Every structure is written in C-alpha cells, then in structure tokens.
Structure 1
C-alpha cells in the first residue's frame, strides 16, 4: 500500500488527535499513570490545532503520513521548548497509530522531519524521549540521533515523574 507524507491541513486535526491518544495509551502504559492515560481526550485542543495548521512554518510544522488514504502517523517539528544550541529545531512529537506500528512508518516520518529541518535551514535537531521507551530510542538511533547527555525528570504533565533523555542530530548540508 503506498504511503504518502504531506503537510497536515486543518481538516486533519481530528485524525491527529485520535492518533495521539491511541499512540500514547498503547505506548506509554509503563511510564504514565493509567488514570491519566484513560482520560486523554482526542478532541482536546482541536480548534487550537486547526488554527495552527492554517499557518505552518519552520516554527510549527506538522506533517503526517497516509496509508490507504487514512492518516497513520505524524510528526511535529518546531522551535525548541528548552534551551539548546542556536539554529536548532525540536522534534516535539512522533506518534503512529498502533495498528500501523512495525511497518517502517516511524522511520519514514523521522527521515522526513530531518529533511524538513534541513529545508528550513536548521543546523541541529533535538528531541526528548522517555528513558524507558526502548523502541523509540532504537528508532532515533537508527536515524542518526545520539544521546547528548541531557536528562530531565518532570511530573508537570502527568502528576507522576517522567524520566526523559535528550537526543540530538547535527545536520550536514
């Protein structure tokens, strides 16, 4: 089945919300409280997302992959949320629908995010990954990312400590 990667449109906001919630509930069970995951709402912030999708830019760029004309995953690339080298982008999110896992979609999306960052003239990409999420870590390492030594533990999102490591990739033109 052909897979197509394209910039997200405002009409894609609901599908993006559905994938985010399904991916988090399937992947983050070992790392986040069950009660937090159970109440995630796919419709949360949909209107705000639709507005952002009307004005994609190097500071907020969301691309998705379609398989059989259905959204199967997405990535979000943008201005770093945390301190990092100048001219850096952050891969804020990479979410794939659980039914589409292990089909190479994650790698295709990460490689497209790298190409987009180059196109936007960024020199580096950083991302934060849950330390225990070995599948995601392996994917990022296969795509050339390396742990840069930064770590953080934060409980603001879930009310439960979430341990993350930072990965970085220097872009060569």
Structure 2
C-alpha cells in the first residue's frame, strides 16, 4: 500500500462496514459513515504506523479492490514479545470492495498477512470479529482460525455488538486452507 491508495482504502473500509455490518449495528450509524471523514484517518494511520505494522492492498486491473492491515498484537495479555520472539500478531482489518466479495480477494489478503506474520517470527495471529457476524466467522474458520473463548464488549450508539477473538498458530510451515 502507498499513501496514494488511502482514498480507495477509505472508501472500501466504509462500504465494507456498511455491507458487512448491516443488521448487526444500528442502520443510522452505518448510513452516517462518511468516506470524507474516514480519509484523513486512513492517511494518519498509514503515515504514523508503528514498527511491524503492514498495510496491504489487492488490485485488479490497476484498481484497489481490497485492503488488510496487520502487526503486533495490541492487547496486553497474549504472548506479547517473549524472550527474543516476535510474540503474537494481530489482523487489525481486512475489507474487500462489497462488489468483489466471494471472488478470492479476501482469501488472498488474509493468506498474505498470515504468511508475512509467520515469516516475521510471530507465534500466532489473533483477530477480533463481531460475535454475530456468522459469515466472517466462517471465513476465518476456513482459514484455520478458531475462537479462543475471549470476548470483548463493543457498543455502537447504545447497541451492544460484542466481539470474539480468534487465533491461528503460525509455527512452522504455513499451510494453505479451503476458501
């Protein structure tokens, strides 16, 4: 990803939320999401990314059609940098243009993130997903992730939309998965 990809990434992120979280979050909140407001955030996140944070884009015919971001686990509790190791990685975000879902873009981005985290020496990759987002949970489960029993409260405009944490070991060779 480059800084010039930020406008398209902002659009994909907003349209992704509006599509993936329909019926899971208040519709008024989703309708109020604005690419113009998101764009400066994406630029700032990209320009100020910390060590080990990687932004990836997927392109088709020269156009960005998906985005993923991963890096060191942000939580304080799981294996956060043990003696000389890289500790756990986290998939911070993965979004695909809603018109491109189901075409392998998300699988390719997730595979690239998993492979990069394994190559960087991370023991596991963790991610958070809305508990009620059955489609996303199936996607991650097909990629070898399993819910580890940890849940976090998350609230959007007074509506509780809890998240569950998924984990996937990265030791040794990264194996392909069904898509």
- Alignment deviations for residues 33-76 of structure 1 (CA, whole Å, 9 cap, x no partner): 11111111113253353354346665321101001111111111
Q: Which runs of 5+ in 1 are unaligned?
A: 1-7
The answer as to 2:78 corresponding to 1:79 is no
Higher mean displacement: 103-112 or 9-18: 103-112
3-state SS in 1 of match to 2:151: strand
- Inter-partner Cα distance in structure 2 for 1:48 and 1:23: 16
Aligned residues: 165
Question: Which residue of the partner structure matches residue 169 of structure 1?
Answer: 168
Query: What is the CA–CA distance in structure 2 between the aligned matches of 1:159 and 1:125, rounded to whole Å?
Result: 30
- Could you say which residue in structure 2 is the equivalent of 1:70? 63
Determine the C-alpha separation between the residues in 2 that align with 1:106 and 1:67.
13
Structure 1 outlier segments of 4+, above 4 Å: 54-58
Distance 1:58 1:88 in 2: 14
* Higher relative strand content: 1
TM-score, with normalisation over the residues of structure 1?
0.87
Q: Counterparts of 2:112 and 2:50 in 1: how far apart (Å)? A: 15
Question: Which of 5, 22, 29 in structure 2 is aligned with 1:36?
Answer: 29
Q: Secondary structure at the match of 2:19?
A: helix
Could you tell me the TM-score, scaled by structure 2's length? 0.84
Any stretches of 5+ residues in structure 2 without a counterpart?
A: 81-86, 173-179
Q: What corresponds to 1:153 in structure 2?
A: 153
Partner SS for 1:16: helix
Alignment RMSD: 1.8
CA distance in 1, matches of 2:40, 2:171: 37
